[in-house]
């Protein structure tokens, strides 16, 4: 099941639970604006190449729209729509003053040189500069983009509007990026996990974790969890998977993964089939890679008692039902991985203030937001007698609906 179908399904369930009328439901679903632009650049060999750039701006009832820009050859309009909508609910759950957006360029960044990527990014910015802005729509990095991409967007945008560091987040520190942004999603996963375990009278220390995905989010989560005394018994990434029932030594694994571009060949654990990673024996499973990895094929085999969704949309709705019958508690992506967008908000705030926070302040504020977020989700669960996923969705949808009505926008 693709992300759009699942997101719409969760949205509709939330609307029913909240008892919203059909006119309001319709106005909450329709995107505010969809932008599609042609980006033609000279390649390094002198030939011209054309690419399609787009931006879906879903909702701005609660503030400027926020969301990533991805460079990927298969940029599917439906998926982008789903991700823009998901950002609307995610920013509302996190209680930060944003709406949702998503965008990108249909290209394979691996096939382009750095100077071609720079030209492409600048042309794209020229085409959309009057449709994004500090108080309109604030892009961020996503698949295939990073701090350097944001630096080019900032520079190009500033040629039209004057120096505006707050127009994008995820920037290099030297251009107004925030300290702690790199670790933010992984650190948010730690705080979310702590909040959930606290509910059950447990702590991170002594729990056994399995982490699927060892990119930015997975590796930071692993590092921070092991520092808190959590035992990481298995890890996988695109190169392979390793297991050590006594706990993997994470600092050594980080060093190995950096040197060998992956976890494969690490000597502090036994190699296992990456396909079996999700069904390894553990207390807490953290999918931190792709969507749709937990499905009806493997849901019955999962041994974890808790699943923390660090990836976007890792659990299919069918798997959701199977797991909830088994009593597995799932902490949904819309809350669990919101640490990244929360620290993006802190970056934007610092840029507007023209005042840099130290890293301790960033991390303290993030913990406050994540802890309060969990409390808010739990209250919705109690009010509507539902699981954590629907608790988070009703919380997000309700906040956006209230803002929409208060602004007099409902149809």
pLDDT 10s digits, 341-374: 999 999 999 999 999 999 999 999 999 999 999 9
Helical segments of 261-387, H only? 317-326, 333-336, 339-353, 359-384
Please tell me the distance from the alpha carbon of residue 278 to that of residue 293, in angstroms, as a whole number: 9
Mean pLDDT score of the chain: 94
Helical segments of 145-204, H only: 147-161, 184-199
pTM of this prediction?
0.93
The one catalytic residue among 36, 66, 90, 102: 102
How would you classify the pairing of strands 284-287 and 208-212? parallel
Tell me what pLDDT residue 83 has.
87
Taking the C-alpha atoms of residue 369 and residue 217, their distance in angstroms, rounded to an integer, is 18
- The pLDDT of residue 7 is 85
Whether residue 70 contacts residue 79, with contact meaning beta carbons closer than 8 Å, is answered with no
Query: Does residue 137 surpass a pLDDT of 60?
Result: yes
**The predicted structure's pLDDT at residue 409:** 83
102 catalytic, yes or no?
A: yes
Q: What percent of the chain has pLDDT over 70?
A: 99
Q: Would you give the DSSP letter of residue 133?
A: B
Q: Does the pLDDT at position 392 exceed 70?
A: yes
Question: Residue 314: what pLDDT?
Answer: 92
Per-residue pLDDT, 78: 81
147: nearest Cα among 216, 51, 220: 216
CA-based nearest residue to 340, from 371, 325, 362: 362
Asked if the model's pLDDT at residue 104 lies above 60, the reply is yes
The Cα-based distances of 205 to 208, 211, 310 in angstroms read 9, 16, 19
Q: Which pLDDT score, from 0 to 100, does residue 411 have?
A: 62
pLDDT at 74: 80
Question: Residue 102 pLDDT more than 70?
Answer: yes
Task: Give the helix, strand, coil percentages of the chain, each rounded to 5.
Answer: 50, 20, 35
Across the range 174-202, mean pLDDT stands at 96
Least confident of 237-246, 248-257, 289-298, 302-311: 289-298
Mention every residue, 6+ apart, whose C-beta is less than 8 A from residue 33: 56, 57, 131
Q: What is the mean pLDDT of residues 280-309?
A: 93
């Amino acid at each position: 099941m693709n992300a759009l179908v699942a997101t719409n399904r969760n949205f509709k369930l939330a609307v029913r639970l909240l008892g919203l009328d059909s006119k309001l439901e319709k106005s909450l679903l329709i995107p505010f604006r969809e932008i599609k632009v042609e980006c033609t650049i000279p390649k390094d060999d002198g030939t011209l190449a054309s690419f399609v750039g787009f931006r879906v701006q879903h909702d701005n009832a609660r503030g400027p729209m926020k969301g990533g820009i991805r460079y990927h050859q298969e940029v599917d309009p439906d998926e982008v729509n789903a991700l823009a909508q998901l950002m609307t609910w995610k920013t509302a759950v996190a209680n930060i003053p944003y709406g949702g957006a998503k965008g990108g360029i249909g290209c394979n960044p691996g096939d382009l040189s750095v100077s071609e990527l720079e030209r492409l990014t600048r042309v794209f910015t020229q085409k959309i500069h009057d449709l994004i802005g500090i108080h309109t729509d604030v892009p961020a990095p996503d698949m295939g983009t990073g701090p350097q991409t944001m630096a080019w967007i900032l520079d190009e945008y500033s040629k039209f509007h004057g120096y505006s560091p707050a127009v994008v987040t995820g920037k290099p520190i030297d251009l107004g990026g925030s300290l702690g942004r790199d670790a933010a999603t992984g650190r948010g996963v730690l705080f979310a996990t702590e909040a959930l375990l606290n509910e059950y009278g447990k702590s991170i220390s002594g729990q056994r974790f399995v982490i699927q995905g060892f990119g930015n989010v997975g590796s930071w989560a692993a590092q921070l969890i092991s520092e808190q005394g959590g035992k990481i018994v298995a890890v996988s990434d695109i190169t392979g998977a390793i297991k050590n029932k006594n706990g993997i030594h994470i600092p050594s694994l980080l060093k190995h993964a950096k040197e060998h571009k992956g976890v494969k060949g690490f000597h502090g654990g036994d190699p296992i089939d990456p396909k079996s990673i999700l069904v390894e024996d553990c207390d807490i499973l953290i999918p931190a890679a792709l969507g749709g990895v937990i499905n009806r094929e493997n849901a019955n085999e999962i041994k974890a008692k808790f699943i923390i969704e660090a990836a976007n949309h890792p659990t299919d709705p069918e798997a959701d039902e199977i797991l909830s019958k088994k009593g597995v508690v799932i902490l949904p992506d819309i809350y669990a991985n919101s640490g990244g967008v929360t620290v993006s908000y802190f970056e934007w705030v610092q840029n507007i203030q023209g005042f840099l926070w130290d890293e301790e302040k960033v991390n303290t504020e993030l913990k406050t937001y994540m802890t309060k977020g969990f409390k808010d989700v739990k209250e919705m669960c109690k009010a509507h007698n539902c699981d954590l996923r629907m608790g988070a969705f009703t919380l997000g949808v309700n906040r956006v609906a209230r803002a929409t009505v208060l602004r007099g926008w409902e149809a």
